[in-house]
Structure 1
Amino acid sequence: MNSLYNLAGEVDLEDGIKKQFCGETINETEDRAVLHTALRSKLKTDTKVGGAISKQIAKTKEKIKVFVEAIISSERKGFTGKPFTDVVNIGIGGSDLGPMMVVEALKYYKNHLHLHFVSNIDGDHVQEVIKSLNPETTLFVIVSKSFTTQETITNSNTIRDWFLKKANKEAIERHFVAVSTNIQKAEEFGIQRDNIFPMWDWVGGRFSLWSTVGISIALSIGYKHFEELLDGAGEMDQHFLKMPFPENIPVVLALISVWYNNFLGAESEVVIPYTQYLKYFPYYLQQAVMESNGKSRDRNGDRVNYQTGTIVWGATGTNAQHAFFQLIHQGTKLIPVDFIGFKEPLYGYLEHQDKLISNMLAQAEALMKGKTVEEVVEESQHLSAEELNKRLPFKVFEGNKPTNMLLIKRLTPKNLGALLALYEHKIFVQGYIWNIFSYDQWGVELGKQLAGNILDDIRSQKTISEHDPSTKSLIQFYKE
């Protein structure tokens, strides 16, 4: 660990952390600052983004609060005068995964509104969401910075067509709101300017649930709990900013991950929350980690000659124990594990909670200690010598499998906020040590560009344009 702390010092990590928090343009390839931390800060400090940033955030938060409370209290109603009962968030990537994960995680705190999420550009998916909804009592939140994202706008148009079978165009302004920078496009869709919430270029999509993208969260749990979520993240921000490295949780977790990735050859990490509420958390981390640090060029543009981003996966315990833990215990791959548990159950079922946490602690102990030949012999005295020798190799566990244990008092909005911010900062530290840009995602652009060309070919009655032979034959097969 001392060597890893020295590594952090050698790359001047402390200076990098300060540059992010003060608003320097650390996302250099997109010429942007990275200031999602400002959204949850109670400090009214100036930044290089501009002195008005705190006022912008405060004004926008107030707008969210007023809107959310009007919907929840039924002060604002649908076009037939009925209060809203359902909310549909239409977005993709960070405009979907973050809010969906938090809404599920904090379901215990939800109010009467039922939240739904549409993301995939899959007509079957859209239809399954809207088929049981009442257009008179459903609010739609379209989240797209450019208001041109193919998946989001296609889904929004389909939903608007469905809505207009029961309502007139004037009703759109009562049932559709937007989170976007493209005011003109949103207004052309039928959304009132007052119902368009701003986005900022210094908030990346996968770190945007703290912003106006989190409106669906606030609608689900109420604005007070949404603020508590921000407060928890803000406290973790201050911890990350101020604590020395040996006591700094995000730094310690990041350094451990670098150790296993770069020095012991572990290619993936598994995250196991021991609460069903966090079932979407591994999915959320997949985007946050792999879109951030899946880079093969350093900050100078040169190809790196070492491993960077880790593969992140996982599921909830104890489900995971009955699924893939065999690979972790006795497989050939080194897979570090993060266990996340909570001491207090939300509904008070202590018998369940004791059994749940005992399983989590037992898995960590088993991964560390394994099982020796002597222990297998001791527990197998009922077997004949011949049968014991036959089974012995298969019942021995090597142990020495690495785990981290995060044991949190209770799943609250505030504690969830701190947990999410912890992993965000871990990502930053890893990227800084690997000397890569963590906050761009150019790798996802090529597929989007090619999809547009292929869509034209699918729709065209003419000869398919130039593609490689494999793609060309697949397009032809789809069209037949």
Structure 2
Amino acid sequence: MTEKAQTVWNKLAKLPKPTLAELFADDPDRLARLATRLNIGEEGIRFDWSKTHLDEAHLAAFLELAEATGFTARREALFAGEIVNPTEGRAAEHTAQRGVGKDESVELARSYHARMAAIVEAIHRGAMGEVKHLIHVGIGGSALGPALAVDALAREGAMVDVHVVSNIDGTALEAAFKVCDPATTMLAVASKTFTTIETMTNAESVIGWLRENGVTDPYGRVVALTASPEKAVDWGVDETRILPFSESVGGRYSLWSSIGFPVAMALGWPDFAEMLEGAAVVDRHFRDADPADNIPLRAAFADQFYTRLRGCQTRAVFAYDERLALLPDYLQQLEMESNGKSVTFDGDAVDGPTAPITWGGVGTDAQHAVFQLLHQGTNIVPVDFVASIAPGHDLDLAHHRILLSNCFAQGAALMAGKASSDPARAYPGDRPSATILLDEVSPASFGALVAFHEHRTFANAVLLEINPFDQFGVELGKVIAKQIEKGGTTFDPSTEALLELAGIA
């Protein structure tokens, strides 16, 4: 950590920390200053951080920290397409996929999108015969983003029935086989390198299933989504059905590239384009807004307050909308793979915690499972509540009214608590939460929601002086797994015993 940043952290650590009740009582304008609406076309999202412990003194000091860690320069480098991933010597140009970034990169992304749109629309018109199902195989960012988007936006009226399969466990693939008709099924293979063992093994199994069930040219049913098109050709995909994306687009930020093909297949290209534009609204806000008014940066201030100053080891996300049930899973990878680091940009050991453990669930189910700990446990867990004003169903509005009432009540209860002469019935209160309230779950607002979290993750990395764009921590286990497959390597006694018991040794 730089000396300048350490000075600010020392200042932050010494600031008084009033309770939430005191903060509201002492500042009648608190809600107006800490709750912000971001308009996305005719829609919008409200971000409310008033139930966090951020006050004027902490906000001012965090702005000093942003300056000390070079936030403005780092942000400019991100959008300029400069190297922001120094360990791999790469830019991180996911925003260019949304039309915001270096001119050449934006133009390249547009050309790739035009190719993708043409293929999607041709398939929808029947150019590849009748297509009712799409099995999309990928892993990590090649699966989590598409799965979240399809589940959120294509539950009804999907143009194609999409099944995202990531797990190498054959049970996951068999579940897709059971509901897909081989005669009307396509395969999308999503792999940046086109060498990922889980993805390629699953892809081979889908090819075998198609062939065994009467499809004479199974490779003719394949679309490849990759940054390594030559490897896709070698594997057997016709070059006319390869949808490339740039090497500078990282896996967990790749939903906006051709990795989003299954989303476009399910929704149609116009809705996918709206998703891109919703994300671009957040890109432009993050790029242009002053740090004092920057919504993702303010979210990072709250994250750092609880992780670094309050010692909170986890952060919970609860989606009070069934359509966003996969959001916590998606954010786990985005946040923990990006910022779960132990060294700075310069390779020095960090002197404090980096990413908290992200977890969560769906309201109201989670209320009857984990909220006991949130209200009365000894762990202080900052919570994000995510909800939509408009329901996703046509049932009696009582369903949605009860859902939102529970969402808002949980935040109020965590803050207020309740005294009792019976210790078992006492709630300490003063527990933080933030609320992200969408007008509706639409392609545009969904795109904005995901882009907000991407920039929040980047802003946290800037404040921590770490690199959020590499992920070497996922490699060692893969290397050892390959050693096991090859055989001839000796491991520790426990591992050797497990291999023998499983019949692998």
CA distance 1:156–1:202, shift in 2 (3 Å): same
Q: Is the 8 A contact 1:169 1:190 kept in 2?
A: no
C-alpha distance in structure 1 between counterparts of 2:261 and 2:423, whole Å: 55
C-alpha distance in structure 2 between counterparts of 1:118 and 1:339, whole Å: 28
User: Aligned partner of 1:203: which letter?
Assistant: V
Q: Is the 8 A contact 1:95 1:209 kept in 2?
A: yes
Residue aligned with 2:404, SS:
helix
Residue aligned with 2:113, SS:
helix
* 1:69 CA displacement: 1.2
**Paired position in structure 2 for 1:438:** 468
1:134 aligns with 2:198: no
Task: Give me the TM-score of the superposition, normalised by structure 2.
Answer: 0.85
CA distance 1:474–1:347, shift in 2 (3 Å): closer
* 1:76 CA displacement: 2.9
1:282 aligns with 2:328: yes
**Paired position in structure 1 for 2:128:** 76
User: Aligned partner of 1:407: which letter?
Assistant: L
**Paired position in structure 1 for 2:453:** 423
C-alpha distance in structure 2 between counterparts of 1:270 and 1:110, whole Å: 32
1:24-423 matched pairs, under 5 angstroms: 24-41=82-99, 47=102, 52-77=104-129, 83-108=130-155, 110-167=157-214, 170-173=217-220, 175-348=221-394, 349-373=396-420, 392-423=422-453
Residue aligned with 2:87, SS:
helix
Q: String of CA shifts for 1:398-443, please: whole Å, max 9, x gaps.
A: 0000000111211111001111011101100111111110000001
* 1:355 CA displacement: 1.1
C-alpha distance in structure 2 between counterparts of 1:227 and 1:161, whole Å: 34
Q: Is the 8 A contact 1:107 1:277 kept in 2?
A: no
Residue aligned with 1:406, SS:
strand
Work out the number of aligned pairs and report it: 445
C-alpha distance in structure 2 between counterparts of 1:192 and 1:133, whole Å: 23
Residue aligned with 1:410, SS:
coil
C-alpha distance in structure 1 between counterparts of 2:157 and 2:142, whole Å: 20
1:455 aligns with 2:502: no
**Paired position in structure 1 for 2:501:** 477
C-alpha distance in structure 1 between counterparts of 2:290 and 2:97, whole Å: 24
C-alpha distance in structure 1 between counterparts of 2:216 and 2:235, whole Å: 10
* 1:70 CA displacement: 1.7
* 1:268 CA displacement: 0.6
C-alpha distance in structure 1 between counterparts of 2:201 and 2:379, whole Å: 42
Once structures 1 and 2 are overlaid, which stretch shifts more, 101-110 or 411-420?
101-110
Q: Is the 8 A contact 1:110 1:222 kept in 2?
A: no
User: Aligned partner of 1:476: which letter?
Assistant: E
CA distance 1:273–1:55, shift in 2 (3 Å): same
* 1:124 CA displacement: 2.0
CA distance 1:476–1:108, shift in 2 (3 Å): closer
Residue aligned with 1:140, SS:
strand
1:466 aligns with 2:487: no
Q: String of CA shifts for 1:264-312, please: whole Å, max 9, x gaps.
A: 0001100011100001000000000000000001111111111101110
C-alpha distance in structure 2 between counterparts of 1:52 and 1:9, whole Å: 29
**Paired position in structure 2 for 1:376:** none
Residue aligned with 1:405, SS:
strand
Q: Is the 8 A contact 2:227 2:247 kept in 1?
A: no
**Paired position in structure 1 for 2:76:** 18
Task: Give me the TM-score of the superposition, normalised by structure 1.
Answer: 0.90
Q: Is the 8 A contact 1:113 1:219 kept in 2?
A: yes
Q: Is the 8 A contact 2:183 2:215 kept in 1?
A: no
C-alpha distance in structure 2 between counterparts of 1:439 and 1:185, whole Å: 24
Residue aligned with 1:87, SS:
strand
Residue aligned with 2:212, SS:
coil
C-alpha distance in structure 2 between counterparts of 1:31 and 1:65, whole Å: 31
Residue aligned with 1:52, SS:
helix
Structure 1: any 5+ residue segments left out of the alignment?
78-82, 374-388, 458-463
CA distance 1:20–1:109, shift in 2 (3 Å): farther
Structure 2: any 5+ residue segments left out of the alignment?
1-58
C-alpha distance in structure 2 between counterparts of 1:160 and 1:185, whole Å: 17
* 1:53 CA displacement: 2.3
Q: Is the 8 A contact 2:182 2:215 kept in 1?
A: no
C-alpha distance in structure 1 between counterparts of 2:249 and 2:160, whole Å: 27
User: Aligned partner of 1:61: which letter?
Assistant: H
C-alpha distance in structure 2 between counterparts of 1:128 and 1:344, whole Å: 32
C-alpha distance in structure 1 between counterparts of 2:143 and 2:91, whole Å: 22
C-alpha distance in structure 1 between counterparts of 2:437 and 2:209, whole Å: 46
* 1:25 CA displacement: 0.1
Q: Is the 8 A contact 1:290 1:310 kept in 2?
A: yes
Q: Is the 8 A contact 1:109 1:221 kept in 2?
A: no
User: Aligned partner of 1:188: which letter?
Assistant: D
Q: String of CA shifts for 1:66-106, please: whole Å, max 9, x gaps.
A: 111122232431xxxxx111011010000000000110011
Residue aligned with 1:401, SS:
coil
* 1:473 CA displacement: 2.0
C-alpha distance in structure 2 between counterparts of 1:445 and 1:135, whole Å: 35
**Paired position in structure 2 for 1:381:** none
User: Aligned partner of 2:165: which letter?
Assistant: V
C-alpha distance in structure 2 between counterparts of 1:6 and 1:148, whole Å: 44
Q: CA RMSD in A?
A: 1.5
* 1:128 CA displacement: 2.0
C-alpha distance in structure 2 between counterparts of 1:126 and 1:108, whole Å: 20
C-alpha distance in structure 2 between counterparts of 1:157 and 1:209, whole Å: 23
C-alpha distance in structure 2 between counterparts of 1:143 and 1:293, whole Å: 24
Q: Is the 8 A contact 1:108 1:346 kept in 2?
A: no
* 1:166 CA displacement: 3.0
CA distance 1:17–1:345, shift in 2 (3 Å): same
Q: String of CA shifts for 1:40-59, please: whole Å, max 9, x gaps.
A: 12x5x6x3xxx532332121
Residue aligned with 1:397, SS:
coil
Q: Which of these two proteins has the greater Rg computed from alpha carbons? A: 1
User: Aligned partner of 1:176: which letter?
Assistant: V
**Paired position in structure 2 for 1:377:** none
> Paired residue for 1:8, among 54, 63, 66?
66
